[in-house]
């Protein structure tokens, strides 16, 4: 038996049934390219595992049919979102619906091990509060925000910082721990929610900024990297800049050059504004800034063009390296037709005419940011059918 392809068929089958909200064998066989014999074998196995349930219904011609549906309460997932001052912990079912939630203040003063101990306690609390049996928890998805990394000066943040937590989780639950940065975890969830996009580059620009690559529904490590570290590898868009980045410790990276804080500071430096405008800029937010550009303020337009230029550089560099068919744009700025016209102008100027036909401006589908964390175990264990012992009961 080819274990790998068997898994891929199961993955496709589970995702298809989830997208349709239930499906029958004929429809599944037609859509996921699997032989009837293999399908019978797989569905028997999944029904036996209690992962799929059979629902009987009568179709429009009065014929009795069997509908296969996912048993969304078969397993549970835990999501942890670490923000600057608070950590949010949720427990979800396989549909990624929140069953329990809690939030605690990050009392982390340089001792990251202490923070992990506290986090483990809260994970245990949420499991105790819920009715979810321990052996049916798939794992814990941890999403680290940039604000936490920067503000708590978590130097050179690496995934292996979480080894203590991983060990403790493995001792107490059967599950695994998955650690991701916010933008990457979001990209993975977007790919799941919108399965038409299989190979894409996601760019987020707003209060949070960054990019991630998904190929064949899988996260790809940043193209230009030699070691696996997260959140610390930023793409340099302005090699001659002397603006230093707190996260990657380099100058002229994308994340710094397009940050609103930096842009607003540059605007104030550049001209002799009245005290009124100066105080306006002390509390400026991105939406207000975009509005000012759209109403024709010259300096704001110039800054907006710069952001468009850096985003275009980022896109072009990744397009050259990887087979991307789509660019997903997330954030209010991409809803501005002025900004989009700047972006297309730079893409054309850099001789990438075909790219701007592949731009897709995303709507906000993700209702709560914590869901990107709880989706990690659902993706890596449930949809990849990566069970070890938790299927034995």
* Contact call for residue 234 and Zn ion (CB under 5 A): yes
Interface residue with Zn ion among 100, 255, 300, 370 (CB under 5 A) is: 255
DSSP-assigned states of every residue in 126-180: HHHHS---GGGEEEEEEEE-HHHHHHTT-TT--GGGGHHHHHHHHHHSS-EEEEE
CA torsion angle 249 250 253 257 (round to 10): 80
Region from 78-86, 93-101, 251-259, 276-284 binding Zn ion, contact rule CB under 5 A: 251-259
In the complex, the smallest distance separating the C-beta of residue 87 from Zn ion, rounded to whole angstroms, is 24
Among 253, 304, 308, 371, binds Zn ion (CB under 5 A): 253
* Nearest alpha-carbon partner for 374 in 175, 222, 220: 175
The answer to whether residues 145 and 82 touch, using CB atoms and an 8 Å cutoff, is: yes
Q: Does 233 bind Zn ion (CB under 5 A)?
A: no
245 belongs to the binding site for Zn ion (CB under 5 A): yes
Q: Closer CB to Zn ion, residue 43 or residue 232?
A: 232
Least Cβ distance, residue 67 to Zn ion (angstroms) = 50
**How many residues does this entry show for the chain?**
393
In the complex, minimum distance from the CB of residue 107 to Zn ion, in angstroms, rounded to a whole number: 27
258-274 b/e with 16+ CB inside 10 Å = b?
A: bbbebbbeebbeeeeee
Minimum separation from the CB atom of position 255 to Zn ion (A): 4
Residue 184 interacts with Zn ion (CB under 5 A)? no
Q: Which of 81, 116, 248, 304 binds Zn ion (CB under 5 A)?
A: 248
Between CA 133 and CA 93 the distance in angstroms is: 12
Joined tokens for residue 33: 């390219």
Nearer to Zn ion, 185 or 245 (CB): 245
**Tokens 């070890």 — which residue?**
388
CA distances from 388 to 93, 153, 174, 235 (A): 19, 37, 8, 38
Distance of closest approach, residue 204 Cβ to Zn ion, in angstroms = 15
Stretch that binds Zn ion, among 9-17, 244-252, 309-317, 342-350 (CB under 5 A): 244-252
Q: How many residues bind Zn ion (CB under 5 A)?
A: 6
- Using DSSP, state whether 329 is helix, strand or coil: strand
Quick check: 257 binds Zn ion (CB under 5 A)? no
* CB 236, min distance to Zn ion, A: 8
Q: Which is nearer to Zn ion, 234 or 344 (CB)?
A: 234
- Give the per-residue contact string, 191-230, with Zn ion (x = CB under 5 A; - = no): ----------------------------------------
- Residue 314 binding Zn ion, by CB under 5 A: no
Instruction: Single out the segment in contact with Zn ion by CB under 5 A; choices: 29-37, 58-66, 215-223, 245-253.
Output: 245-253
Distances (CA, A) of 143 to 76, 182, 370, 384: 17, 6, 8, 20
239 - beta bridge partners?
none
Query: What is the rounded distance in angstroms from the CA atom of residue 95 to the CA atom of residue 89?
Result: 17
Interacting residues with Zn ion (CB under 5 A)? 234, 245, 247-248, 253, 255
């Amino acid at each position: 038996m080819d274990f790998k392809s068997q898994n891929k068929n199961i993955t496709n089958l589970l995702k298809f049934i989830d997208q349709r909200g239930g499906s029958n064998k004929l429809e599944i066989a037609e859509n996921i390219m699997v032989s009837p014999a293999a399908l019978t074998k797989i569905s028997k196995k999944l029904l036996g595992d209690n992962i799929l349930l059979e629902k009987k219904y009568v179709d429009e011609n009065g014929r009795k049919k069997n509908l296969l549906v996912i048993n969304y309460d078969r397993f549970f997932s835990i999501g942890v979102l670490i923000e600057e001052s608070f950590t949010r912990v949720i427990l979800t079912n396989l549909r990624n619906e929140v069953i329990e939630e809690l939030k605690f203040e990050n009392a982390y003063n340089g001792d990251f091990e202490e923070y992990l101990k506290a986090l483990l306690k809260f994970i245990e609390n949420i499991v105790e509060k819920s009715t979810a049996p321990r052996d049916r928890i798939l794992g814990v998805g941890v999403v680290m925000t940039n604000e936490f990394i920067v503000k708590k000066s978590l130097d050179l943040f690496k995934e292996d910082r979480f080894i203590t937590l991983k060990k403790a989780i493995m001792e107490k639950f059967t599950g695994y721990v998955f650690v991701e940065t916010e933008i990457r975890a979001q990209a993975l969830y977007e790919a799941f929610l919108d399965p038409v996009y299989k190979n894409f580059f996601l760019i987020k620009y707003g209060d949070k900024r960054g990019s991630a690559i998904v190929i064949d529904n899988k996260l790809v490590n940043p193209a230009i990297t030699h070691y696996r570290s997260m959140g610390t590898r930023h793409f340099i868009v302005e090699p001659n800049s002397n603006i230093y980045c707190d996260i990657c410790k380099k100058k002229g990276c994308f994340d710094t050059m397009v940050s609103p804080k930096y842009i607003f500071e540059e605007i104030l430096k550049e001209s002799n504004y009245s005290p009124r405008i100066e105080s306006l800029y002390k509390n400026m937010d991105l939406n207000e800034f975009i509005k000012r550009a759209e109403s024709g303020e010259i300096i704001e337009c110039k800054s907006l063009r710069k952001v468009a230029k850096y985003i275009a550089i980022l896109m072009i560099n990744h397009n050259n390296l990887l087979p991307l068919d789509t660019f997903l744009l997330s954030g209010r700025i991409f809803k501005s037709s002025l900004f989009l016209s700047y972006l297309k102008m730079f893409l054309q100027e850099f001789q990438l005419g075909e790219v701007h036909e592949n731009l897709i401006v995303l709507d906000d589908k993700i209702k709560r940011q914590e869901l990107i964390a709880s989706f990690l175990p659902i993706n890596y264990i449930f949809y990849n059918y990566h069970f070890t012992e938790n299927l034995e009961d």
